[in-house]
Amino acid sequence: MFTSQRAPDLKTVLIATGVILTLAMGVRHGFGMWMQPISQSNGWSRETYSLAMALQNLMWGVFGPFAGMVADRYGTMRVVLVGAFAYMAGLIWMAVVAQPTLFVLGSGVLIGLALACTAFGAVSGIIGRAAPPERRSWAFGISGAASSFGQFMLMPVEQSLIGSVGWQNALYLLAALVVFLMVPMSFRLREPAHKKAEGHHQSIREAMGEAVGNRSFLLLVAGYFVCGFQLVFIGVHLPAYLKDKGVLDPHVAGTALALIGLFNIFGSYLAGQLGGRMPKRYLLSAIYFARSAVIALFLFAPLSPFSVYCFAAAMGVLWLSTVPLTNGIIAGVFGLSHMSMLAGVVFLSHQVGSFLGVWLGGYLFDANGSYDMVWGISIGLGLLAALANLPVDERPLVRTALKAA
């Protein structure tokens, strides 16, 4: 683990991780635009592509804790390098593989691994080490805003590439862009060689056991499950819901998803700012409660393009604003030695929720002919998450055993 005498430069870290997160999240956010061309070209039903995306989300969560362990022990640079080349391989795989099972397994595993190595969990440790405690939540908010900027900026770029050069060439160009930008940025994340401090060193097993046995950590895990359920259900199923309700113009759904990304920039930054001044647990509770309220208002208000855009803007403010606050609590309670690994464990819960949100949305729609039950579940889960975050203890742990060693 890193206990270097000289912390990495915060400005350099934020620029490098900002570019990496912009690409990682921006490319991934636009994958829905490839569903129709890939399915039509290969003669598949949409189920094949959807399964690949679901597996990708699940593998992102499964690989996350391991990517975090490596980042904490050997440095973020190495993990991001692996992620950049895995991303390139996954995008090329999507372009050339036409056998359904191989497509699902290859693209799901490769891009899931890539996201685990280039998204929030993997880079949270170096951001925490670079930022002083009083600016840590702000720094996490900046990284969240960067990922949101990528979602907003790259969607029209990807759509334009598909229209101008074709879906396969668009994937090749994105693969090249990822490698040519992520690789040099990863070298900006070098950290000085660490030296061991005196006394007992907490092992990975000890750190994991300490976290899993901590009530506040488990409450954060539960909250992140709800976060993933709500976000991916809305992101995947909102266009179909609008069409079912008579909003037939596809630009309304596309604009709504872009607005989510745009307002997410402000929401993530604001959450990071407020997290340095107010108890983070109260802010998290307020975010989950506000999500349930916004969903309920959207469902009961007359549906129109204007109401859809208002819903998207409000949800965008709340979209990833949980990330800087949750990571800030983990860093403050457990310290920075195993920060990336613990962030990865929490994010695994997020991705399990994502998997269930997207799958349950389709399953219950097929069973009931509407999304009403899933919307209701999303509202109820949001209220439970709001209550779960209230008793979170943000005070740093006092490790008496380590002090005595």
Rounded to 10 degrees, what is the CA torsion of 380, 368, 255, 165? 130
Q: For all residues of the chain together, what is the average pLDDT?
A: 86
Tell me the average pLDDT across 219-233. 91
What lies within 8 Å, CB to CB, of 99 at 6+ separation is: none
> Token pair of 175, please?
């693969």
Greater model confidence, 262 or 405: 262
Please report the pLDDT score of residue 3 as a whole number. 47
Q: Sorting pLDDT into bands at 50, 70 and 90, what band is 198?
A: very low
Amino acid residing at 404? A
The pair phi, psi for residue 135, each rounded to 5°, is -115, 10
Q: Which of 34-48, 196-210, 320-334 has the highest average model confidence (pLDDT)? A: 320-334
Please report the pLDDT score of residue 249 as a whole number. 81
The pair phi, psi for residue 178, each rounded to 5°, is -60, -50
Q: Where are the domains of the chain?
A: 10-191+204-393
The CATH number assigned to the domain with range 10-191+204-393 reads 1.20.1250.20
Please report the pLDDT score of residue 131 as a whole number. 85
- Look at residues 14, 23, 238, 240 and name the one whose alpha carbon lies nearest to residue 141: 14
Amino acid residing at 280? K
DSSP 36-48: HHHHHHHT--HHH
pLDDT in tens, 143-196: 777 777 887 788 778 878 888 999 999 999 999 999 999 999 999 998 765 544
How many residues are recorded in the chain?
A: 405
